[in-house]
Amino acid sequence: MAHPTIEQIAELGPYLADRSSQADALGRLPDDTGKLLKETGVIRMLQPRDFGGLEADPRDFFNAVMDVGNHCPSAGWVAGVVGVHPWELALNDTRLQEEVWGEDPDTWVASPYAPSGIATPTDGGFIVNGRWSFSSGTDLCDWIVLGAMVKEASAGPDDPPIGSLHVMLPRADYQIVEDSWNTIGLEGTGSKDIIVDGSFVPDYRALDVRKLLDGRAAKESVRSGDPLFNVPWAGVFPGGVAAGLIGIAEGVLQRGIEYQAGRISNLGVVQADDHHSRQVLAEAASDIASARLQLVHNIGEAYDAVRAGHTIGINQRVVLRRDQVRAAWRAAAAANTVYDICGGNSIRLDKPVQRFWRGMHAGLHHGIFVRGPLLNLAGGVLMGLPPTGPSAVTV
């Protein structure tokens, strides 16, 4: 039986689709789309029950995100990114959880995690400064989590940081830079720049990134006995982004099928009767379905292992990341074959298939999908070598 959120998405999906072009025109998700996403509950799926969350199986979350992306690429992307933040917030001090969710469990938290700012230690916390890009869904969020390098006030510009944090700030303590999101895809995500100018962040609103990645944050939190919050970060956040991407690829396939079913080419070929078109669609459908299945299988395997009392080691974390990357690129490659047969008129902005295709390619530029270093690392692990290189920080 499907999770109630998935059933809600199926019911409300056509409304999300109707607002997709409006999202592109606005350069952000319309308020109505945000309201619909709240009605589905997708953003609360990884949120703890004691703060109004659904605390769902992560398999259901990934499937729900992909289903949203099938209806609206920008909404699917935001669901995958913003929907992961409650999982991380659950590992923070309960004072922070009370501040964010105490009055409204539907309060959304934006990001990004890239350490683009500086956190300077001071009495009781940190002074944060910096500018960050790619804050997806930020206009609909009232809090933000930002990556920051820790440096003493006396440190010089070339001195290395002494730590790395995720710091959380309320809307009054940061600035959204309007007109900073002008792109060729995922326009409706409104992934604008953020500026923080000397805001104070108390200690309890800061989380050590090393502890988040290696699982110590979960063990030291009030969620230490809860399997959901002890699944590795390497499976959850990058997996949520991959789910958004695969859902958009599914949208390319579905819109391509609909378009081809009613199309007659300029040469008079009825596409519904064209053997080549039908073969392309069948092969793409199989490859994209395999991408969804692999992503869901892997996170489920990790979740079940944690529930059984096992620790997820580095090798399994590498597999999670390896297959997120391969599944996303496999789905995108299959979706490209669909768009390739859609003909010249499919590039017109009134054709939905192009919106999904552009959004898919924009999403592939996210750092978690960089293939070379990650797959090099994963191949080395297969041969018994330790994970090294720039991608090691993501596993």
What is the C-alpha to C-alpha distance for residues 19 and 350, in angstroms, rounded to an integer?
Answer: 13
Please give the residue range of the domain that contains residue 118: 109-207
- Count of positions (residues) in the chain: 395
Please answer whether residues 5 and 45 qualify as being in contact, where contact means their C-beta atoms are separated by less than 8 angstroms.
yes
Instruction: Please identify which residue in the block is written with the tokens 């999403």.
Output: 363
Is 225 inside any structural domain?
Answer: no
* 309: Cβ contacts below 8 Å, ≥ 6 apart: none
Q: What pLDDT shows up at residue 274? A: 85
pLDDT band of residue 50 (cuts 50, 70, 90) is: very high
Mean pLDDT of 4-22: 96
Considering the domain architecture, whether residues 243 and 376 belong to the same structural domain is answered as: yes
31 and 162 both lie in a single domain: no
**The overall pTM is greater than 0.85:** yes
| pLDDT the model gives residue 6 | 97
Span 217-221, mean pLDDT? Answer: 95
Collapsing DSSP to helix, strand or coil, 194 comes out as: strand
Q: In CATH, what number is assigned to the domain containing residue 307?
A: 1.20.140.10
Sequence letter at residue 52 = G
What integer best gives the mean pLDDT of the chain?
Answer: 96
Q: What is the average pLDDT across 300-321?
A: 95
**268 and 244 in a common domain:** yes
**What pLDDT is attached to residue 264?**
84
CB neighbourhood size of 214 (10 A)? 16
192 pLDDT band (50/70/90 cuts)? Answer: very high
- Cβ(71)–Cβ(20) under 8 Å? yes
Same domain assignment for residues 250 and 378: yes
Amino acid 115: pLDDT: 96
Q: Is the predicted pLDDT of residue 266 greater than 80, yes or no? A: no
- Confidence band for 308, pLDDT divided at 50, 70 and 90: very high
Residue 222 lies in a domain: no
Residue 248 confidence (pLDDT) above 90? yes
pLDDT value, residue 327? 98
Check whether residue 117 and residue 195 sit in a common domain: yes
Q: How many domains does the chain have?
A: 3
Contact 306, 312 (CB under 8 A): yes
